[in-house]
Structure 1
């Protein structure tokens, strides 16, 4: 059980806001391996981390409701769309940090320095090697009629789906993105359902022949037993898409300093710590993610996926396309 949950925390808002040498973290990252991040930061700085955890949208709404009295110092969440959602809700603030500017690539940070990405997950194509001899080599090819009845994907309400289509819009334009989305819908093997691991299970079960998932779900199944995947993982092949074009689409896990952070200096210190080599290695070793900082080694499970070219598109610009992406999903009937 994590140290502090949104529903059970015994720390009062007043005591949080007035604390010295503390940091109040609102996080939607629910990975036990992040414990090492928090304990090492405290050991290095003496700053105690108080955590409130929940779903991203709930935390953002909570920060909005708390307003200027919010005890939050940091919001951590996953996916570019949620980071942009927090910015648009006015619950983050711009910060100045030479460390973050130097360490985090420009395309992985907000144009106004309100959020920064600290780890990445490539969203790539997986396929049944027994049934697919010529897998799609890019995202555009997923709409090829030759893959009709073969594709599994998550729902349009999922942020990973929204951000991928938002990236297609940024790279190819809205008209092409709509045609692509319609083509993918036409190729569905079943109505969208489940999470990323379920898309991989669909390949093993034979429900579908081609699916999309973030890499860390597959790398996790390489590292440890994941029911319905690991035992038959040799059946699954993968493609880092668009290697001759824009490159593989990347999802971010990142964070920003809260708009009314009572411990702003500590918050900036924590953000800078997350960009350190030590923390970056934890993201990879503990949760099978790719570091955001260039040159940091990846874990064995992640390295098994091989080398690839990432899409260097500005993710701040991609995030702004999410409303257009949702409109397209609705128009093409992507459930």
Structure 2
């Protein structure tokens, strides 16, 4: 089976286990099966999976989109009356926040357990990771050699003083990255690395990924 098909099959099973029999205030016709999907993702590849799922099952997907924290706040405010069947986001940190808020209920699936590695699923079955994303460094190839930034540790080198643009420290992406580094390096080394990154910043952190790249065009290395 190709990687795409494996992902698609896994995703289908995840949706089916969460599917409601009724409309649950989703605006669907009576008796129509619907998955109310709260999603913080906005990728064409996801839409292709949704369309395939509907073709193969006849189950409609009612998509509600927003930022992770906005969707978490919405589900909390909706409480027990929330129509949400499934929550999809782009970072495990957001899943952790939703779990801490008590918004999940466990799903046990032999197929999901068999196909998704232990490190990509919550032990109690509260969430499953079906895709992995790379945290990459964008750089000017005319000014930086690949071997200079092929390891996160190298970004702390004084060579990059005044040259690094990054999102703010409260970005869930950065929180997840630092958490992963603490697990890999330990607190002491990670603490020193973070301090070195701050010392190398070109400006106070602000904006999203595209903002860092646009501002990075002004670098002089």
TM-score interval for Structure 1 and Structure 2 normalised by the shorter chain: 0.7 to 0.9
Mean Cα displacement is larger for which, 102-111 or 83-92? Answer: 102-111
Q: Are the equivalent residues in 1 in contact too, given 2:24–2:83 (CA < 8 A)?
A: no
Q: Which residue of the other structure, out of 46, 50, 59, is the alignment partner of 1:47?
A: 59
SS at match of 2:89: strand
* Alpha-carbon distance change, 115 to 206 in structure 1, aligned in 2, over 3 angstroms: same
Shift of 1:33: 4.6
CA contact (8 A) 2:26 2:62 kept: no
Aligned to 2:42: 30
Indicate conservation of the 8 Å contact 1:151/1:208, yes or no. no
Equivalent position to 2:97, from 85, 106, 119 = 85
Relative distance call for 1:71 and 1:164 in structure 2 (3 A) is same
Note the alpha carbon deviations across 1:207-261, whole angstroms, 9 max, x for none: 365xxxxxxxxxxxxxxxxxxxxxxxxxxxxxxxxxxxxxxxxxxxxxxxxxxxx
1:171 aligns with 2:218: no
Q: Secondary structure at the match of 1:13?
A: coil
Name the counterpart of 1:192. 205
Q: Output the CA distance in 1 between the equivalents of 2:131 and 2:42.
A: 14
Partner of 2:166: 153
Q: How many residues align?
A: 197
Indicate the RMSD between aligned Cα atoms, in angstroms.
2.2
Q: Distance in 1 between matches of 2:149 and 2:50?
A: 41
Task: Give ranges in structure 1 of 5+ residues lacking alignment.
Answer: 1-10, 210-335
Structure 1 stretches of 4+ moved >6 Å: none
Range 90-99 or range 28-37, more displaced = 28-37
Question: What SS is found at the alignment partner of 1:39?
Answer: helix
Q: Please, which runs of 5 or more residues in structure 2 have no aligned partner?
A: 1-22
TM-score norm. by structure 1 comes to: 0.54
- Larger RCO (CA under 8 A, 6+ residues apart): 1
* TM-score, length-scaled by structure 2: 0.80
Residue of 47, 68, 77 corresponding to 2:80 = 68
CA contact (8 A) 2:36 2:84 kept: yes
Aligned equivalent of 1:110: 122
Matches within 5 A, 1:1-335: 13=25, 20-133=32-145, 135-203=148-216, 205-207=217-219
Instruction: Give the match's secondary structure for 1:123.
Output: coil
